[in-house]
Amino acid sequence: MSRTRAVEGWGVLERAVELARSGEPFVLATVVWREGPSSGQQGSRAIYTASGEMYGWIGGACAEPTFIREAIAALEAGVPRLLALGASDRFGDLPQGTTAVAMSCQSEGALQIYLEPVVAVPHLVIVGSSPMAATLASLAHELDWRVEQVSGPDFGEGLLTPQSMVVVATQGHGDEDVLAAALKAAPAYVGLVASSRRGESVRSVLAAQGVQDDQLASLRVPAGLDLGSTTHKEVAVSILAELVRLRAQGAFAAPVTAPPPEVSLAVDPVCGMTVQIGPAAQSLHVGDEVFYFCCAGCRTTFARERGVA
């Protein structure tokens, strides 16, 4: 997992804007309440991205692993949550829905962190300038999607992310070149506005050009739901309907990445805190097992209860 702690305060918000524009989901965390001593400060911010990167700072060794765990859960659920960290007697009455995690670190500090998942709006790239393409762009704008309409010569892989949707409506003008570039970028959806017969011809040309079978299989021709004989406006509706249905099924969602294997986590058997396993972690061998703790206090309590040194 990559961490950039130099990004703080307003820098975290600037990074949030960059991520939103790039289309990557993330969680924006803000410390909304603090009781010292605690390394996290009120107003401290951090970001955890769907790809497993962390920016900013919300707290120390006790708070960070729990934040990562809860951020992943918030991203998967797509619902904001309030996270309370500290001894159970430090909070009083918490708002309904608050996730409280007992934290018995030696600092005896407490934090409340608001986790806000930010799911990127769908990104639709329409290649072509036909009336159907213009209608589709207009309809997608009404859904507040991020829409780019370009001509065939202006299209390139750099426009796409793995979550992008591409609709090629170039009406036989360089279809194969545009599709080859789009399929190479492996976006979430590539559809061609054409008849089934035309689609088979295009697939044959792409195969002869060396496009892989799995890429060809992902190409949707004709793009959109099968509504029978339709006008160009109805074709646009059918394409948008297909994209909305696929999005509702999670087809365009970015996968949420947990910390990589080298960042291993354990649960403190005394307080239940999530602990990052590493050279600096408090640990204790009991027989063939190794237990990890958020602080020396938990380790001492556990050792006393087990009767070990």
Q: What is the pLDDT of residues 173-185, one digit of tens each?
A: 999 999 999 999 9
Of all residues in the chain, the percent with pLDDT exceeding 90 is 44
Token pair, residue 81, equals 């949550």
Token pair, residue 18, equals 């960059």
Q: Do 300 and 290 contact (CB within 8 A), yes or no?
A: no
Q: Do 223 and 189 contact (CB within 8 A), yes or no?
A: no
Q: Within a 10 A sphere around the Cβ of 90, how many other Cβ atoms?
A: 16
Residue 88 has pLDDT above 80, yes or no: no
Q: Do 82 and 112 contact (CB within 8 A), yes or no?
A: yes
Please give the average per-residue pLDDT across 51-55, as a whole number.
Answer: 88
* Amino acid (1-letter code) at residue 212: Q
Q: What's the mean pLDDT when you consider all of the chain?
A: 85
pLDDT for the residue numbered 262: 52
pLDDT for the residue numbered 129: 93
Please give the average per-residue pLDDT across 71-92, as a whole number.
Answer: 81
Please give the C-alpha separations between residue 58 and each of 84, 158, 172, 281, in angstroms, as whole numbers.
12, 34, 54, 19
Please, which pLDDT band fits residue 5 given cuts at 50, 70 and 90? very low
Q: Do 144 and 121 contact (CB within 8 A), yes or no?
A: yes
Of 49-58, 210-219, 232-241, 269-278, which range is least confident?
269-278
d(CA 28, CA 58): 11
Q: Within a 10 A sphere around the Cβ of 26, how many other Cβ atoms?
A: 26
Q: What is the pLDDT of residues 109-126, one digit of tens each?
A: 788 899 999 887 889 999
d(CA 125, CA 99): 39
DSSP type of residue 50: T
d(CA 92, CA 231): 63
Going by their DSSP bridges, the two strands 165-168 and 123-127 should be labelled as parallel
Q: Do 24 and 50 contact (CB within 8 A), yes or no?
A: yes
Of all residues in the chain, the percent with pLDDT exceeding 70 is 87
Helix (H) or strand (E) holding 74: helix 63-77
Q: For residue 123, which of 157, 165, 179 has the smallest C-alpha distance? A: 165
